[in-house]
Structure 1
Amino acid sequence: MTSFVLPHEVHGDGAHKVFAVHGWFADRAAYAAVLPDLDRRDFTYALVDLRGYGAAKDATGAFGTAEAAADLVELADRLGWDRFSVIGHSMGGAVAQRLLALAPERLRRIVGVSPVPASGLPLPTEQWELFADAAHKPGNRRAIIDITTGGRAPAAWLDRMVARSLAHSDAKAFRAWLDSWAGEDFHAQVEGTTVPALAVAGALDPALTAGLLRETWLRWYPQASLLELPSAGHYAMDEAPLDLIRAVEDFLRADDTDGSTDAGTPAGQSVA
């Protein structure tokens, strides 16, 4: 029986291999706004579609972060990537942290862009209903995207994001993913992991704030750092693409100048 392979596209031919993992509302097209300006000489990027999204929209599975981490390791093996970094947006940030639990020895660095903490994201009842019903209610998806970008995004952009989300996700999988990223607490499995880890927060995002990441990401990872982008909310790839690329690629490049120690930003240091 052939094992499942995450649909993906590869860009660049650099020595530093990097997975880019999307969030709850998008497939790999989440990275469309940054794709043209990524450094393809130093890095090789693999953009993936998680189960239930994009080219994997009809895939079966548990639709959870642990399964996704295993899928990424399987894909790395098929690509011949012994060691690699991973970037994860929102829900994809939880997937990146699952990789810390599953295969820390294979990770060079991790980046979370508005990452869901490894402790999950418990939601009050009213918010939970808003999120849970978003599987079948486009208006809920639009409200969530609008709120998490500070209510400043153009209406046409919100409409486009919702349309893309609906077209490129399976409703049942979308709902199952919520239970995983919001409800699962695995931080005890990753706390103390020494892989350098950058969290990028958007100042306009009222949910995954720099304050929350200080209490989670910076506390758990000894070589963690935090950057807050003042002009972005939850979707920094769209809201501040050039700032995000510069911050992320500078962080990833530091691995190549650290020597064999893989040292990162001093414990708990924040530039937010």
Structure 2
Amino acid sequence: MSILSYSTIGSGPEYVVVLHEWLGDHSNYEPVITYLDTQKFTWIFVDLRGYGDSKELSGEYTCEEASEDVQRLIDKLGIHSVNLVGHSMSALVAQKILVDNPLLLKKLILVTPVPASGIQISETDADELRTSVFEHSKIRHLINLRTGKRYNSSWLDAKLMLATKASTPKARAGYLEMFLNTDFSSQLLGCSSPVRVIVGKHDIPAFQRETIKKLFSQWYKDLVIVECKESGHYPMLECPVFFASMLEKFVTES
């Protein structure tokens, strides 16, 4: 069985497993690392199949496979209770892990999340996204939209480089189909597990606070949503101090 690659920072007793987004890998979190408490927490940054240090691992790129992969890694590490962070695409995976193994999770922290019902868009828009997997100009355009068209060319170029180096086109295409065609939201109705969400004020409407609140409040009884007023879809890159502080707050609150 293949085991996902990961990197660990810190040696604290509280474990936090961190997953990445569609257009990035574990290196998305590099701006945050300086601000993380490494005495109270052990931070485990994971790369999914086809991404980062797991780039050589191919697969089906389904939500079920990703859920099993992450659980297998946690089991290998000998950890019996974790706080799980999912960003955008991997928030869908994190919610699947909650369905599959709720006793494993202490807190579920979702960042600009894809909902458990997947991304509901027209087939025309879906086809446009499918072409973006292979075209750098379209990936750059997606990044620009998801940050409110507020950043200069240098930042957009840097994020584009991160996005295209992070994964293989095959993995991006596979996970795109995952979040376009997955819906297990009915299995979360009435869920009492604590779920904490960070959204960005300058994100596209599908990921903004009111949209997320409307969807997620159908499923989760213990739900808190915090809006980062100075970010779009990538608060760990756009507002790293705020992001690190919110992660620690969510993990430690009662």
Q: Shorter-chain TM-score: what band? A: over 0.9
Q: CA deviation at 1:160?
A: 1.2
Instruction: Give the Cα–Cα distance (whole angstroms) in 2 for the partners of residues 68 and 125 of structure 1.
Output: 25
Alignment partner, residue 169 of structure 1 = 167
Among 135, 155, 158, the residue aligned to 1:157: 155
Length, aligned pairs only:
253
How do 1:63-142 residues align onto structure 2 when only pairs under 5 Å count? 63-142=61-140
Alignment-derived partner of residue 202 in structure 1: 200
Shift of 1:145: 0.4
Which secondary structure does the structure 1 equivalent of 2:218 belong to?
helix
Q: Secondary structure at the match of 2:31?
A: coil
Give the Cα separation in 2 of the matches to 1:17 and 1:123: 36
Matched ranges for 1:23-42 at <5 A: 23-42=21-40
* Residue of structure 2 in register with 1:237 after alignment: 236
Q: Which structure 2 residues correspond to residues 11-26 of structure 1 after superposition, within 5 A?
A: 11-26=9-24
Shift of 1:218: 2.4
Query: Can you list the C-alpha shifts for 1:153-178, whole angstroms capped at 9, x where unaligned?
Result: 12111111111221221111110100
Mapped to 2, the partners of 1:168 and 1:104 lie a distance apart of 30
1:269 matched to which residue of 2? none
Q: Tell me how far apart the structure 2 counterparts of residues 125 and 102 of structure 1 sit (CA, whole Å).
A: 29
Map 1:28-67 → 2, pairs under 5 A: 28-67=26-65
- Structure 1 CA distance, aligned partners of 2:154 and 2:62? 31
**Conserved? CA contact 1:65–1:180, under 8 Å:** yes
Q: Structure 2 CA distance, aligned partners of 1:249 and 1:217? A: 22
Runs of 5+ consecutive residues of structure 1 not aligned to the other structure: 259-272
Deviates more, 1:111-120 or 1:178-187: 178-187
3-state SS in 1 of match to 2:190: coil
Asked if 1:253 is matched to 2:252, the reply is yes
* Offset, 1:181: 1.4
Q: What SS does the aligned partner of 2:225 have?
A: strand
Q: Matched residues, percent identical?
A: 30
What is the RMSD computed on CA atoms of the aligned residues? 1.1
TM superposition shift of 1:239: 1.0
**1:126 to partner: Cα distance:** 4.1
CA distance in 2, matches of 1:226, 1:100: 18
Letter in 1 for 2:215: T
Shift of 1:58: 2.0
| 1:65 Cα deviation after fit | 2.1
Distance 1:177 1:122 in 2: 15
Return the letter of the residue paired with 2:235: A
- SS of the residue aligned with 2:117? coil
How far the C-alpha of 1:228 sits from its partner, in A, is 0.8
Cα distance, 1:242 vs structure 2? 1.1
* 8 Å contact from structure 1 (residues 200, 229) kept in 2: yes
| 1:190 paired residue among 188, 199, 204 | 188
The one-letter amino acid paired with 2:18 is A
2:207 partner SS = coil
Does the residue aligned with 1:220 lie in a helix, a strand or coil? Answer: coil
Determine if the alignment matches structure 1 residue 225 to structure 2 residue 211: no
Q: Which residue of 2 aligns with 1:261?
A: none
Give the CA deviation at 1:95. Answer: 1.1
